[in-house]
Structure 1
Amino acid sequence: MTAAAPTISVVLPARDEGDRVGATVASALGAAAEPDRLEVVVVDDCSAPGGRPVVAAGADRCRTHVIRSDRHLGVGAARNLAARHARGRVLFVTDAHARFSDGWDAEVGRLLAPRRILSVTIRDQESAWRGHGCRLVVPYMGTRWNTSPPDPASTPHVQIVSSAGTVVERELFERLGGYDEGMVHYGGFEPEFSVRAWRSGAEIVHTDAIEIAHRFKPREECASFLGTARTAIVHNCLRFGTAHLPESMILEMVRLHALEFPDHIREALVMLEARGAWRRRAELSASLRYGFDWFVRHFELRDQIGRPVPES
């Protein structure tokens, strides 16, 4: 007899995460109300031999599918690859070093709705800090965590979905086109996906009923990682802004990054042109339901020093 298709597919990329993957899988299944209705889809994003995903034998391994990439895809493309292999109606996009709160899958079933993306609460594994989705910083095109939950008296909308805690119906994810594979390796994937989702007519709702305990990189590890990934991160911010900002703000965005990252801006701009950023802008303008002006009005968005964002 053929096993029933899973309801939820937990999607995670893993690069040199080793045993942390197995611990994340064990947490997702162990904390679930109905683990038999879950699967975990891991993309091994060209890990070194000693860092490849390790999943324990038994039920954890039985319900986990590991897809190996022999080239480094980066976060967005790895998540998209995992989603293409997923069988669940719902995708829970997370990281390879996460712990799930009890009954998280039941809360997904209770809260998710058509055209709705859930942003779950992220907790630092080493402290009491919690993030409740993010807000957009323009024209820099970065994000800041919301350290307080949305006002319970209103619909708990957030601008940007939580990194390591994005829940979306697979059909909606596919209709949105997944994560932008014109971006490179790391940085900017969640905010760009979120703005595109809002502009398409979807909504992002935050919940405190699901909590992911996340391993944030220690300061030294983070500094080393950012040093290696900085050009890609600058490029991704520029591509994000080029795709969505009013033209009058794009030059200011470039100026800000040039001032902060003079050693990276030239290569980032070459990448921006080579990877078709302006073509992407035209495609989104023609296909999305709302312009960026709508997003600005909906959230009463201001720029990073408090000025009104100009309309395009």
Structure 2
Amino acid sequence: MWAMGPFTDGLRSSLAVKFWLPPYTSVAASTASSKHVRLKLNTKSQRVTTVRSYDGFGQQGYVRRFAESHYKSVSGNTASSNSCLPAEIYRCAKMNYFESFMKLYFSVRKKKQHQKILKLVGLYDYTKTKWIEVTVTTISLLNIIRKFVTCIMLLRLQSGCKTKVYPDELPNTSVVIVFHNEAWSTLLRTVYSVINRSPHHLLSEVILVDDASERDFLKAALENYVKNLEVPVKIIRMEQRSGLIRARLRGAAASKGQVITFLDAHCECTLGWLEPLLARIKEDRKTVVCPIIDVISDDTFEYMAGSDMTYGGFNWKLNFRWYPVPQREMDRRKGDRTLPVRTPTMAGGLFSIDRNYFEEIGTYDAGMDIWGGENLEMSFRIWQCGGSLEIVTCSHVGHVFRKATPYTFPGGTGHVINKNNRRLAEVWMDEFKDFFYIISPGVVKVDYGDVSVRKALRENLKCKPFSWYLENIYPDSQIPRRYYSLGEIRNVETNQCLDNMGRKENEKVGIFNCHGMGGNQVFSYTADKEIRTDDLCLDVSRLNGPVIMLKCHHMRGNQLWEYDAEKLTLRHVNSNQCLDEPSEEDKMVPTMKDCSESRSQQWLLRNMTLGA
């Protein structure tokens, strides 16, 4: 444990931490100016008393509001909404919690003297220090604030979780782990962490399902090894490569515990991981619970704590994504960060579910192949059919996130995932499946098999429509529930289409030859008059552009566009300029010019309707 004394005992006045961001590393908008945020700490009261920010374009307050909202979630107290103990800041710094921080240079100002600290983990006598200034060379300011605040929040969360008391009588669980050609060390790390860090009276058994592994050490050697473990460990062999979904179904069918806990084969359970999951299921058997998933580096196997400030969602292509927990969910928990987070979707690798409820709700869709899409299918089904899905913040399990999957997908990765996504869209998404098909037209050509059994299950369970799910469970979904058009946006003069070019946030939107294949050329003109591509909106922050893709903020402003269905123009309201064809300087990006009603400013919106 890190010593807290130097920070709390010796400082007599105040400490300010300044984060500087150099030009061309954008934070809040498409600006090329330096950004500066200052957190001033009063060491007598041990509170951060001011949070200020500014930049060259007058975007004052953006970073301040961001930081304050996150500090509010730390304390859950409006009166000290941006409070943070200096000992916690010190510990988060000393932990070298973030790899990127190794690139930072600290300059410490002590009256008129300056001393450089070249490493964040370097020793220094902070008891005589009055100011610390941090110069950032390559890292986004918002990311730094997020990471520091996340670290501080985790310290507070851990403290709250340690005081939790769970019932003596909890349901026991069978832990089902599917593996295919897993390394010996990672598989046993998973098994040993389950056994060593779980109360044995709560651990009914560990079931290892071998999905047709080819490595010799996973055969007889593994069977002989697990015979000597303290908890019953059963190995089930699949006759042929069947994939995660069917292998988990086989393991679940053989389980005896009151609860089934599914884990991947490259995990590490932490102390106290199991009790919070089982306690929540004891409270409500129709609640499916996930731990916070911590990160284990696939390069060094370093263990890095995850955040309880993210939850599961999905994008237009039905890819699972992590997004920040919205304010409405923080408000529902009333500042108690030890309470579970209601999540629209789950990652799917790690979760616990009442065994009988697993059967009642329809287990997995056995018509899906290998892996992919089953997590969203189960998430939709749980919510739409009367259950709930939660992340239990006092439960932590580490997971090795690999840069690429080492497994083969019979038939090809794309074919398998398209088939699975087509099945879930046909059964659970109602009319919103057409939205997905416009985004990914190739999915429509995939043979997805017979889904009549799954549709009958939905009818028997009297499940709610997908519109209810979007309205009540995932109102922050990237799928706009009301929109004027969905599809390509074609320029009349050049006959080219807007194209996100696979670019990321803070990059320019492109324009390219129309290909009619959906994907990067699908844009939605929403009822809020945004032009969206997935979770990004076209944003213009100054006259004559450029047109940047930024996270949709739903506050209109620089993301408000008026489409004139007669003149076919897209007018940016704030600048009062119109979207135009590319210039000679860059023929791959559209421009902004004064509205002239020329053909170059005329745009045809695909699937345009008059009402949204």
Secondary structure of the structure 2 residue equivalent to 1:204: strand
The counterpart of 1:198, out of the listed 380, 383, 390, is: 383
Could you tell me how far apart the structure 1 residues matched to 2:478 and 2:324 are? 17
**Corresponding residue for residue 122 of structure 1:** 293
**Corresponding residue for residue 42 of structure 1:** 208
Judging changes above 3 Å, is the alpha-carbon distance between structure 1 residues 301 and 278 closer, same or farther for their aligned structure 2 residues? farther
**Corresponding residue for residue 102 of structure 1:** 271
Task: Check whether the contact 1:89–1:169 (CA below 8 A) recurs between aligned residues.
Answer: yes
Q: How does 1:46-195 map to 2 (within 5 A)?
A: 46-50=212-216, 52=218, 54=222, 56-57=225-226, 59-60=228-229, 63-112=232-281, 113-126=284-297, 128=304, 130=306, 132-138=310-316, 140-146=317-323, 151=330, 152-153=333-334, 156-195=341-380
The TM-score, its normalising length taken from structure 1, stands at 0.82
Q: How far apart are 1:142 and its partner, in Å?
A: 2.2
- Write the letter of the residue equivalent to 1:67: I
Secondary structure of the structure 2 residue equivalent to 1:41: strand
Secondary structure of the structure 2 residue equivalent to 1:210: strand
Judging changes above 3 Å, is the alpha-carbon distance between structure 1 residues 246 and 303 closer, same or farther for their aligned structure 2 residues? farther
Matched, 1:251 2:434: yes
**Corresponding residue for residue 3 of structure 1:** none
Judging changes above 3 Å, is the alpha-carbon distance between structure 1 residues 45 and 250 closer, same or farther for their aligned structure 2 residues? same
Could you tell me how far apart the structure 2 residues matched to 1:44 and 1:270 are? 29
Secondary structure of the structure 1 residue equivalent to 2:422: helix
Between 1 and 2, higher relative CO (CA 8 Å, sep ≥ 6) is seen in 1
Task: Check whether the contact 1:120–1:162 (CA below 8 A) recurs between aligned residues.
Answer: no
Q: How does 1:278-293 map to 2 (within 5 A)?
A: 280-281=454-455, 283-293=457-467
Secondary structure of the structure 1 residue equivalent to 2:419: helix
Q: Percent identity?
A: 21
Task: Check whether the contact 1:21–1:97 (CA below 8 A) recurs between aligned residues.
Answer: yes
Could you tell me how far apart the structure 1 residues matched to 2:438 and 2:294 are? 34
Could you tell me how far apart the structure 2 residues matched to 1:224 and 1:21 are? 15
Q: Deviations over 1:272-296 (max 9, x none)?
A: 1xx1136633542453332222212
The counterpart of 1:297, out of the listed 468, 471, 476, is: 471
Secondary structure of the structure 2 residue equivalent to 1:135: strand
Secondary structure of the structure 2 residue equivalent to 1:271: coil
Greater per-residue strand proportion = 2
Secondary structure of the structure 1 residue equivalent to 2:394: strand
Task: Check whether the contact 2:264–2:349 (CA below 8 A) recurs between aligned residues.
Answer: yes
Task: Check whether the contact 1:121–1:162 (CA below 8 A) recurs between aligned residues.
Answer: no
Q: How does 1:189-268 map to 2 (within 5 A)?
A: 189-218=374-403, 221-222=404-405, 228-247=412-431, 249-258=432-441, 265=443
Secondary structure of the structure 1 residue equivalent to 2:364: coil
Bigger radius of gyration, 1 or 2? 2
Worse-superposed segment, 31-40 or 182-191: 31-40
Q: How far apart are 1:228 and its partner, in Å?
A: 4.1
**Corresponding residue for residue 7 of structure 1:** 172
Task: Check whether the contact 1:121–1:165 (CA below 8 A) recurs between aligned residues.
Answer: no
Secondary structure of the structure 2 residue equivalent to 1:172: helix
Q: How far apart are 1:186 and its partner, in Å?
A: 1.1
Q: How far apart are 1:222 and its partner, in Å?
A: 3.6
Worse-superposed segment, 88-97 or 55-64: 55-64
The TM-score, its normalising length taken from structure 2, stands at 0.44
- Write the letter of the residue equivalent to 1:301: P
Could you tell me how far apart the structure 1 residues matched to 2:406 and 2:175 are? 29
Judging changes above 3 Å, is the alpha-carbon distance between structure 1 residues 50 and 217 closer, same or farther for their aligned structure 2 residues? farther
Count of residue pairs brought into register by the alignment: 292
Could you tell me how far apart the structure 2 residues matched to 1:82 and 1:76 are? 10
Q: How far apart are 1:73 and its partner, in Å?
A: 1.6
Task: Check whether the contact 1:285–1:291 (CA below 8 A) recurs between aligned residues.
Answer: no
Secondary structure of the structure 1 residue equivalent to 2:447: helix
- For structure 1, the residue ranges without an aligned partner over 5 or more in a row are 1-5
Q: Deviations over 1:33-69 (max 9, x none)?
A: 3367331111111111436363644553752111001
- For structure 2, the residue ranges without an aligned partner over 5 or more in a row are 1-170, 298-302, 484-526, 528-612
Task: Check whether the contact 2:195–2:230 (CA below 8 A) recurs between aligned residues.
Answer: no
Q: Please, what is the CA RMSD of the aligned residues?
A: 3.0
